[in-house]
Amino acid sequence: MSVLDFARRPALHWALVIMVAGSIWRLIHFLFRRSAQDVYWARKVLHVPNQRWQLDSYAMHAGLLIVLFGFTPHILFIGALTGSTWPSLPTTVVLAAAVISIGAMLAVLIHRLTASEPTVFSIFDDYFTWTVVFVAMLTGLVCYPHIGGGPLIGPYAFLLTAHLLAVELLMIWLPFGKLIHVAFMPLLRLGAQIIRLIERLSGQLRTD
């Protein structure tokens, strides 16, 4: 079995198993142990202290979401797992989002490395999370077929293998670091809205 076959089959299988099992464990842990630190990692990955760097952080997250959910191969992969598909975005839009996201990630990292003030947020979790996301994005961008139907640089099989392994490492790490906020934040916000709605309705019933 070649490394590419390994990345396409057993590595992907076990990455999915670990991601799902780890996410369930992290959700249970969050529900039964809601500390201030847990609330923080559910909100952000890298701490950005002012509006300029918040914009870079938003650009980074928006680009990641566009690449993940707007690129045709990614949609087909998700569809094979879940049975749900949706229209893809134009390739130029996805590529532009990838480039913008990579640029924003570099800007945020440089800012954190050159910031003079000490911060408790510049820890291993932050930088390892940044690294696995960046490598997955960069390998995906360079192995995409460009001019003439070939990749931007070669060899294609090596780049594709590197991208798949990088994504699988990202999937394995997802439940265990601050990156889990990508999956949990929408659920947490939805849960908070439902709780507020129930409290409002309960208050109206008591008033009536």
Domains and CATH numbers, the chain: 8-207 (1.20.950.20)
Dump the DSSP string for 78-144. HHHHHS---PPPPHHHHHHHHHHHHHHHHHHHHHHHH-SS--TT-SHHHHHHHHHHHHHHHHHHHTS
Q: How confident is the model at residue 8 (pLDDT cuts 50, 70, 90)?
A: confident
pLDDT above 70 coverage of the chain, percent: 69
- Residue 37, pLDDT > 50, answer no
For residue 125, count other CB atoms closer than 10 A to its CB: 17
> What tens digit of pLDDT does each residue of 54-93 get?
566 677 878 888 998 999 888 988 888 888 889 999 988 9
The pLDDT, as a whole number, for residue 166 is 92
The pLDDT, as a whole number, for residue 126 is 78
> What tens digit of pLDDT does each residue of 162-200 get?
889 999 999 999 888 777 766 666 666 666 677 677 777
Q: Which of 117-126, 140-149, 153-162, 188-197 is predicted with the least confidence, judged by mean pLDDT?
A: 117-126
Region at 48 (left for phi over 0; alpha for psi -120 to 50; beta for the rest)? beta
Query: Mean pLDDT throughout 113-131?
Result: 71
- Residue 5, pLDDT > 70, answer yes
| Per-residue CA distances from 114 to 125, 128, 158, 164 (Å) | 18, 18, 34, 32
Does the pTM of the predicted model rise above 0.85? no
Residue predicted with more confidence, 37 or 94:
94
The pLDDT, as a whole number, for residue 46 is 42
